[in-house]
Structure 1
Amino acid sequence: MEKSNLKNRASKVFKSYLPILEWAPKYNKKTLANDLIVALIVTMMLIPQSLAYALLAGLPPEIGLYASMAPLVLYAIFGTSRALAVGPVAVASLMTAAAAGQLASQGSPEYYGAAIALAMVSGLLLMAMGFLKLGFLANFLSHPVIAGFITASGLQIAAGQLGPVLGINAHGESFLDIVISLWHSILSIHWTTAAIGIGSLIFLFWVRKGLKPMLLKLKLGPKTADLMVKIGPVIAIIATIVIVWFMGLADKGVQIVGKVPEGLPKIQLPPLDFALWLKILVPALLISIVGYVESISVALTLAAKKRQRVDPDQELIAIGAANIGSAVSGGFPVTGGFSRSVVNFDAGAETPAAGVFTAVGIGLTTLFLTPLLFFLPNATLAATIIVAVMSLVDFSALKHTWDYAKTDFAAMLVTIVVTLIMGIEPGLIAGVTLSIFLHLYKTSRPHVAVVGQIPGTSSFRNVERHKVVTDPEILSLRVDESLYFPNARYLEDLVNEKVAANPEVRHVILECPAVNNIDFSALESLEAINQRLKDGGISLHLSEVKGPIMDRLQHSHFLKELTGGVHLRQYDAVASINPKLADQTRKAEKISNAEPI
C-alpha cells in the first residue's frame, strides 16, 4: 500500500513537470483537426511577425524564424496553457537589441552571439526560478510599471521603425535619441520607400479597423472576416513583394530583405563565455521577468475564459525551456505573445499541440519558401511592427491611475519618462525602484483609526465617519496594516500622541483585524508601547488578533507582560472594561449601517 502511494505521488510530481502527459493520452482526431486549422492560421500570422521582430532585435530576418520553432515544441511539452503561443515579441526584441548593442555592433558575430547568450541565460534564470517556486518575484513589477514600460517601449519601437518606413537612417538607444536622429535625417527621405512604407501602414491600420465591418456588410461570416483581418500582414507582404519585383524597385534604392538562407537551423551551443554571461546577467533577468509577466497575464486571461488551470511556477519552467530551445537553435529571447495567443484561442486551439504544428509550418517555410522573400521590402516589415506595437500604447491608463491612486500614477509616469529619455533598462529599473519605495513609504505610515461602537450593534467603526459611542477612558485604535520594521516606530509615536492628547485615557485597545504579520521589530515596539503605558497607569489590550499571529506571540514574553487582555472581538474588549456602556449601546436604537467603512 505504501509503495503504491509512493508511486502515485511520484507519478503526480512527474506529470506536474511534464503537463504533456496530462493531455497527450486524451488526444483524438477531432482535436487534431482543430489544432491543424489553428496552426495554419497562426503560421500565416507568425511568419511576418518573426521576420519583423528579428530585424527589430538587430538580427537577420531568418533568425526570427529560427526562434519560432523549437520554443513552440518545448512549450508544448512543459507548458500548462492550452492557448499561449510562444515566440519573438516586440518588447523582448527591443530589449535584446538594447542589451546586445552595448556589447557589439549590429551585424557582427559578437552581436549575434550576445543575442543567443541572452536567450540561454534568460532560459536558465526562468527555469531556476520555476524549480525554486520564485514566481512571486514577478509581483515586484506592478501593473502601473508594466503598463508604463510597455507604453514607452511601444512608442520607442514605433519611432525606431519610422526610419525604415521612410527610407532614412534613424538610430538611438532611447525614444529621444531616435526622434533627434529622425529630425536630422528628415530631408533625406527616400520617396519610393516612403510610398511603400506609408502605403503599408495605411493598409494595415485599415485592415485592423475597417476590413471586418466591410466584409460583414458583404455578408461574409464573422469567422471568415476575422481570418482575413489576421492575415492582413501576409497580404501586405505578398503585394509589396510583387510590386518591388515587378517594378525593379530594389535597383532604385528600396531596401529589401534579400537572400534568406534556406533550411532548418543547426543545433549548437551559445557562446560559453563566463565574462559575456556576467555582462548580460542583469539585462537577461529583466527580459526574463518582463517576458514572464506578459506571458502569465495572457495565459491566465485566456485560461479563465474556458475555466482551465495554469500553473504560474510551471510556466516559468516552460518559458525557460522555450528560451533555451531558442538559444540552441540559433534564436533570441522569446515569450508568450498577446496577439498570436489570442488568435490561437479564438481559432479554437484545443491543446499545445497546435504550437507544435505551427512550428512545423515555420519549418516548412524555412525549407521551401524563403526564396520568395527576397524582394520583401524592409519598409513593409517596419510597418507591420508599427501597427502591432501601437496597440500596446495606452495613455488612458495614466488618467485612470491618476484618478485612483497618485502613487501608482507617479510610478507609471516615471517609468514612461525615464524609458523615453534614457532607454528601456533605466526606465524599468526606475519604475520598479520607485514602486518599492512608494510601497514602503505607504506601509510605513499605516492607516490607524480611532473607533467607537455603533449604537444598536456590537460593531465598531471610525469615529470620523460614523455616529458612534465612546468612553473617554478607553482609546480604541484599529490598525489597518501589518506591523513590521518600517512602520513599527510610527505606531509607537501615534499611540504616545493619542494618549498625550487624552489625559482621561486609562485603557488602550489595539484592534487588529487587518494585521496579517507582526515581525520582531514590531514585537519590540508593542513591548515598548506596553511598558510606557504601564508606566503611565494605562492598560494595553488587543482584540481580533488572527490565529497565526497569536501562535507567534505565544512564543514571546509579550503576552505574559501584557497589562490588559487579548479578546476575540472588539466588543468583548470594551465590555470587559465598561460592560454597562457596551451593553446599553448595543441595546440602543439601531441606525443605518449604509455608511462607508
Structure 2
Amino acid sequence: MRLPTRQSLLPFLRWLPSVNRKKLSNDALVGLTGAILALPQSIAYALIAGLPAEYGLYAAIVPVIIAALWGSSWHLICGPTAALSIVLFTSVSPMAPPGSETYIGLILLLSFMAGIFQWLLGLLRFGALVNFVSHSVVLGFTLGAALVIALGQLPNLLGIEIASHPTALATVLNLGQHLSEIDWPTFAVAGFTLVISVLIKLLLPRWPALLIGLLAGSLLVLLMPEQFAHVGLVAAFEGSLPPVHILDFNLNDITRLLPAAIACGMLGLVTSLSIARSLATKSRQFLDANQEVRA
C-alpha cells in the first residue's frame, strides 16, 4: 500500500511556489471581479433556498477557499448555484418553515451529508463516473430549475403575496388569480433594476452588471422615498462569521434527507466538473477528477 505524499494531502503545494508578483496581481484583479459578481448572486441564491441572506455569503466564501487549496482546477470557482438552491428548498421546506432555526439546521445537515457523499466518491476514485452523465441531462435540469426559480420570484417582482405551490402550473394559475393586486411601485423598481442590469451586460460586458443594477434600483428608492417607501426590503443581516453549532444527527431526519443529499451531491459534482473540464481543455491542463471531487 502506497502512503499518501505531502503534495497529495496538501495539493496547493504544487502550484504555490510558482506564484510570482505578476500572477498575484492578475489573480487579485480577477478575484475582486469575481467577489463583486458573487455578492448579489449569493444573496439571491440564499433567498431562493429559503435561508437568511447572510448564508449566501457564507456559502460564497468557504467553498471557494477550500476548492482553491484542495481542488485540481486552476480556474474553477466553486460556490452556491441556482439549481442547488431550488433543490435545497424543495427538499427541506416540507419538513420545516423556511428561515426557521429548524429549517437552517436541516439545510446544514443535508449539506453535510451531500459533502460526505462527494468525499466518499473521491476517496473511492469514482470521480470518472460523473463523465457518464450527459450534458443534455445537466442542461435540461438547469433550464427546468431556472423556470421554477423565475416563477417563484414573480410574486416578489409584482409585489404580490401568495402561498407557495409544489408545481409550476399551480403557481401560474394562482398568480393569474391575483394579477389585480399588483403593487406597481414594487414592479417599477424590479423592472428598472432588471433593465439596468441587462443594458450593462450588453453594453459593458466586463462590468458587474448585477451589482450595478442593484445599486441603481436602491438609488431609485432612495431618491424617491414618497413613491417607493413601502417596497419590501431584504432582511438586514450582521456582517459576522456564522455561529458554530453541533449538527443534530437525528436518524429520522437523516433517512428523510438521504435521497436529497445524494441528488445534491451528484448535481454539484456534475455541474462543477463539466465546467472544470471545459476550462481545462482550453488551458491544456490535466484535470484530476478524483481530487476535484474530494475538494
TM normalised by structure 2 equals: 0.93
Instruction: Determine which structure has greater relative contact order: mean sequence separation of CA pairs < 8 Å that are 6+ residues apart, divided by chain length.
Output: 2
Measure, in 1, the Cα distance between the counterparts of 2:257 and 2:279: 32
1:148 has 2:140 as partner: yes
1:69 has 2:61 as partner: yes
Measure, in 2, the Cα distance between the counterparts of 1:284 and 1:185: 36
1:27 has 2:19 as partner: yes
Residue pair 2:71, 2:291 contacting (<8 A) in 1 also: yes
Measure, in 2, the Cα distance between the counterparts of 1:17 and 1:167: 51
- 1:133 is matched with 125
Residue pair 1:135, 1:313 contacting (<8 A) in 2 also: yes
Query: Do the aligned partners of residues 146 and 266 (structure 1) sit closer, same or farther apart at CA in structure 2, a change above 3 Å counting?
Result: same
Q: Which has the higher strand share?
A: 1
Q: Which amino acid aligns with 1:257?
A: V
3-state DSSP class of the match of 1:227? coil
- 2:33 is matched with 41
- 1:180 is matched with 173
Q: Which amino acid aligns with 1:81?
A: S
Query: Do the aligned partners of residues 269 and 26 (structure 1) sit closer, same or farther apart at CA in structure 2, a change above 3 Å counting?
Result: farther
Measure, in 1, the Cα distance between the counterparts of 2:157 and 2:194: 9
The gaps in structure 1 that reach 5 residues or longer are: 1-5, 213-225, 319-597
The gaps in structure 2 that reach 5 residues or longer are: none
Paired residues for 1:492-503 under 5 Å: none
- 1:59 is matched with 51
Paired residues for 1:345-494 under 5 Å: none
- 2:248 is matched with 271
- 2:190 is matched with 197
Residue pair 1:121, 1:284 contacting (<8 A) in 2 also: yes
Counterpart among 79, 84, 93 of residue 87 in structure 1: 79
Q: Which amino acid aligns with 2:291?
A: Q
Residue pair 1:59, 1:107 contacting (<8 A) in 2 also: yes
Measure, in 2, the Cα distance between the counterparts of 1:272 and 1:249: 50
Measure, in 1, the Cα distance between the counterparts of 2:243 and 2:227: 30
3-state DSSP class of the match of 2:178? helix
TM normalised by structure 1 equals: 0.47
Identity %: 34
1:288 has 2:255 as partner: no
RMSD value, Cα = 2.0
Measure, in 2, the Cα distance between the counterparts of 1:275 and 1:288: 20
Mean CA deviation greater in 309-318 or 249-258: 249-258
Residue pair 1:120, 1:270 contacting (<8 A) in 2 also: no
Q: Which has the higher helix share?
A: 2
Deviations 1:196-253 (A, max 9, x none): 11122222222333x14xxxxxxxxxxxxx422xx11111111222222333369743
Query: Do the aligned partners of residues 140 and 181 (structure 1) sit closer, same or farther apart at CA in structure 2, a change above 3 Å counting?
Result: farther
Measure, in 2, the Cα distance between the counterparts of 1:273 and 1:78: 30
Structure 1 residue 79: Cα displacement? 0.4
Residue pair 1:169, 1:182 contacting (<8 A) in 2 also: no
Measure, in 2, the Cα distance between the counterparts of 1:310 and 1:17: 17
1:246 has 2:238 as partner: no
Residue pair 1:118, 1:284 contacting (<8 A) in 2 also: yes
- 2:201 is matched with 208
Residue pair 1:166, 1:191 contacting (<8 A) in 2 also: yes
Measure, in 2, the Cα distance between the counterparts of 1:98 and 1:184: 24
- 1:123 is matched with 115
Q: Which amino acid aligns with 1:73?
A: I
3-state DSSP class of the match of 1:67? helix
Counterpart among 203, 206, 212 of residue 227 in structure 1: 206
Number of residue pairs matched?
A: 294
Q: Which amino acid aligns with 2:254?
A: W
Measure, in 2, the Cα distance between the counterparts of 1:227 and 1:143: 27
1:261 has 2:238 as partner: yes
Q: Which amino acid aligns with 1:70?
A: V
Measure, in 2, the Cα distance between the counterparts of 1:98 and 1:250: 35
Measure, in 2, the Cα distance between the counterparts of 1:250 and 1:278: 50
- 1:105 is matched with 97
Measure, in 2, the Cα distance between the counterparts of 1:153 and 1:283: 15
Measure, in 2, the Cα distance between the counterparts of 1:249 and 1:237: 20
- 2:157 is matched with 165
Measure, in 1, the Cα distance between the counterparts of 2:117 and 2:241: 27
Residue pair 2:194, 2:213 contacting (<8 A) in 1 also: no
3-state DSSP class of the match of 2:95? coil
Q: Which amino acid aligns with 1:270?
A: L
Measure, in 1, the Cα distance between the counterparts of 2:53 and 2:151: 20
Structure 1 residue 158: Cα displacement? 1.2
